Amino acid sequence: MQIHVVRSGETLRRIAQAYGISAKEIVESNQVPDPNRLVIGQTLVIPISGQYHWVQPEENLWLISRRYQVSVEEIIRINQIRNPNNMPVGLRLYLPQKPRKSVEINAYIDPRMTRARSAGAIDKVGEHLTYLAIFSYAVKRDGSLTPVEDQPSLNAAFKDRVLPILVLTNFENGRFSTEIATTIFTNEVLQDRVLNQALQVMAEKRYRGLDFDFEYLGAKNRARYVRFLQKARQLLKTRGYFISAALAPKFRAEQRGVLYEGHDYQAIGQVVNFIFLMTYEWGWSGGSPMAVSPINLMRQVMQYAISVVPKEKIMMGMPLYGYDWTLPYVPGGKFAKSISPQRALELAIRYGVSINYDKVSQAPWFRYTDEQGARHEVWFEDARSMQAKFDLVKELGIRGFYYWVLGNDFPQNWLLIEDNFLVRKRM
């Protein structure tokens, strides 16, 4: 498939003619909000096999070959070029689809967020998933677990041959609790209670793996957490379950901060079957406007991770959401609103503003003024930003990637998965 960025004066009809397909195909594939109103900078995934390139001034076949990683000879053969040294500007060249990489893909879902839509959200994208992590069975201070209404999600997962993962957290009253983690990690009886209850739920509901999303642990729990995971691994292994852990995005081993100090990449990587790196939330609801997952910062985290953890154990995190900030940003002021990529596009169209693209973070953004005169800044994901992340996955050669969180509309993402990857199914 090909990503097209809308330019000034373009219409859907003209774009469709350029690629030799119908406008209807583009509308349906991208779920275009308003076919009659495109905005500059809007991306469209063109549902074709391979892609086209229009020759630009000063370009030659060697430059085009390097850009698309297709040999000069192959370009000449496919396009039946008679004079490779004299190609007119504007000539349309067809480039074949590249081989697809086999990966595993996980997505978290929070049934409390999606409510009745949880099963529908899974059905829409289940063919693209290897795992489904259901968030979350929260650990209480007495070692018991807070139940989740997970049966609709589980039924949808089994239907689509997606392996369900039970997620354990130290989540309490809307936030991660260092105190709960410390209480559990320093008491063998409570640890046994937590793990035995988790195993009971897994057996009853046919979960296949257990994911530990324990955050804000602090330095004091660094070694304790590893020992707890080692105990869990022994219990799970004998029953044929796999184990994973979600880890904060670190650039180095001794990174300061309560979020980072409790996660020992190397030690945890030796215990679990794979890790979920939370490479998102640099742009967050209480912070200043910026990309949620800047590719330059994601790369730094991944480079550190693969230096201490085997690549086949690493899953890189990707967001299925963005944020809408009200300006001016004031620390401690109004939090930004989480929005889906599709909703962000609808806002840009509604207010008739162009979409910009930051080349450093590889992320789209725009500003608008609402009906009350308030100014806003929106950072989100589009086809370009996701393709940049997919390219990083392929470049690094890691196990795969995962999403936080299902329930946000983003049709272009799933189109690009089909073009880039073969999704491994383990069920």
- CATH number of 396's domain: 3.20.20.80
- My answer on whether 66 and 180 are in the same domain is no
Reported as half-sphere exposure (CB side, CA atoms, 13 A), residue 323 has a value of 21
Among 95, 111, 138, give the residue marking a domain's end. 95
pLDDT in tens, the chain (427 residues): 999 999 999 999 999 999 999 999 999 999 999 999 999 999 999 999 999 999 999 999 999 999 999 999 999 999 999 999 989 999 999 999 889 999 999 999 999 887 668 899 999 999 999 999 999 999 999 999 999 999 999 999 999 999 999 999 999 999 999 999 999 999 999 999 999 999 999 999 999 999 999 999 999 999 999 999 999 999 999 999 999 999 999 999 999 999 999 999 999 999 999 999 999 999 999 999 999 999 999 999 999 999 999 999 999 999 999 999 999 999 999 999 999 999 999 999 999 999 999 999 999 999 999 999 999 999 999 999 999 999 999 999 999 999 999 999 999 999 999 999 999 999 9
pLDDT at position 106 is 98
Taking a C-beta distance cutoff of 8 angstroms, is the pair 409, 342 a contact? Answer: yes
Taking a C-beta distance cutoff of 8 angstroms, is the pair 321, 376 a contact? Answer: no
pLDDT at position 116 is 64
Q: Which residues contact 329 (CB under 8 A, 6 or more apart)?
A: 288, 289
Among 38, 67, 95, give the residue marking a domain's end. 95
pLDDT at position 98 is 86
- My answer on whether 343 and 244 are in the same domain is yes
pLDDT at position 65 is 95
Residue range of the domain that includes 178: 101-423
- My answer on whether 106 and 22 are in the same domain is no
Among 67, 95, 123, give the residue marking a domain's end. 95
- My answer on whether 198 and 91 are in the same domain is no
Catalytic residue among 215, 261, 377, 381: 215
What is the identity of the amino acid at 347? L
Number of compact structural domains in the chain = 2
What is the identity of the amino acid at 395? E
- My answer on whether 89 and 106 are in the same domain is no
pLDDT at position 114 is 74
36 burial level (CB within 10 Å; 0-12, 13-18, 19+) = exposed
Taking a C-beta distance cutoff of 8 angstroms, is the pair 232, 243 a contact? Answer: yes
- My answer on whether 261 and 297 are in the same domain is yes
| pTM of the predicted structure, to 2 decimals | 0.95
Phi, psi (degrees; rounded to nearest 5) at 173? 55, 45
Known active-site residue 10: no
When computed from its CA atoms, the radius of gyration of the chain, rounded to whole angstroms, is 23
